[in-house]
């Protein structure tokens, strides 16, 4: 089963990588064209002035030529510097004072949906496969991959929580990631962590004795990430879902169920 997951992930990675590279190349080409246009304008201006200066003879013409050449070089690089600063300022101004842009928010949410969640399914597949694996090298591979995918899932989930104010749903916002989904991911990752802890000393894991402590350290780092996810989730829940708000929502829900049951009994 995990083979199909790996093949699908590879296909997804190749597609997303190629699309991203194409977009970056196109953006780079646009920037390059803008630089070319600006260079052409400066060069044309330089040619016109040189033509004018060329009418002057003697020392005055030479002095004017040198002065303009130096001024041209300074102005050209100053223009390039100001253009770069303007681009950075424009990009930063769209971040609303350091907050992620709408594109970045969408990317964070998509990463949670398509990386963190999918990785947890892959992790569970590796867990089941490891327990029934009879080939040592494959069992070792499955254990390593299990740790890797669990760590990536944890990192991606933390990225959502680091921008919880723009990426996680509240009672007033429902177009983001639901907090209960993150708790569910956390529960699955905790199971994976326990599995890793219980099996990290298995003799069938083919690893050099000097590297096993490194493997154990990575598992403990994963455990620390999960503790941080738990803390951030609990903090967000306390800040955004007060007992009073939850009680009102529960009353509304109970009223809905009561009305639905009454309508059903009247049929």
pTM of the model: 0.64
Question: Each residue of 215-228: pLDDT tens digit?
Answer: 999 999 999 999 99
Long-range contacts of 140-145 (CB under 8 A, 24+ apart): 140/204, 140/205, 140/206, 140/207, 142/2, 143/196, 143/199, 143/200, 143/202, 143/205, 145/2
* Contact status, residue 9 vs residue 148, Cβ threshold 8 Å: no
Q: Give the start-to-end residue ranges of the domains of the chain.
A: 19-93, 102-243
Question: Each residue of 20-38: pLDDT tens digit?
Answer: 566 556 555 555 555 555 5
Q: Using alpha carbons only, what angle is made at residue 37 by residues 31 and 41, rounded to the nearest 5 degrees?
A: 145
* Contact status, residue 154 vs residue 120, Cβ threshold 8 Å: no
Question: Each residue of 152-210: pLDDT tens digit?
Answer: 999 999 999 999 999 999 988 778 999 999 999 999 999 999 999 999 999 889 899 89
């Amino acid at each position: 089963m995990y083979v199909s997951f790996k093949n699908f992930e590879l296909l997804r990675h190749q597609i997303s990588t190629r699309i991203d590279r194409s977009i970056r190349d196109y953006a780079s080409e646009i920037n390059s064209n803008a630089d070319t246009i600006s260079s052409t304008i400066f060069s044309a201006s330089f040619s016109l002035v040189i033509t004018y200066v060329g009418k002057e003879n003697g020392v005055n013409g030479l002095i004017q030529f040198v002065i303009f050449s130096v001024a041209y070089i300074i102005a050209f690089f100053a223009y390039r510097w100001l253009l770069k600063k303007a681009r950075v300022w424009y990009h930063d101004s769209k971040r609303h004072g350091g907050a992620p842009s709408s594109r970045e928010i969408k990317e964070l949410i998509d990463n949670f949906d398509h990386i963190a969640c999918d990785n947890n399914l892959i992790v569970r597949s590796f867990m089941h496969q490891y327990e029934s694996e009879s080939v040592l090298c494959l069992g070792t591979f499955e254990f390593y991959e299990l740790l890797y995918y669990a760590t990536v899932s944890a990192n991606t989930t933390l990225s959502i929580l680091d921008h919880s104010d723009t990426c996680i749903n509240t009672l007033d916002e429902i177009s983001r990631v639901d907090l209960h989904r993150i708790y569910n991911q956390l529960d699955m990752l905790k199971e994976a962590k326990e599995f890793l802890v219980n099996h990290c000393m298995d003799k069938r894991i083919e690893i050099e004795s000097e590297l096993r402590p490194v493997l154990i350290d990575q598992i403990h780092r994963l455990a620390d990430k999960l503790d941080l996810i738990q803390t951030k989730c609990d903090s967000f829940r306390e800040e955004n879902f007060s007992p009073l708000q939850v009680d009102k929502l529960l009353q509304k829900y109970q009223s809905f169920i009561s009305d639905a049951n009454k309508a059903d009994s009247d049929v």
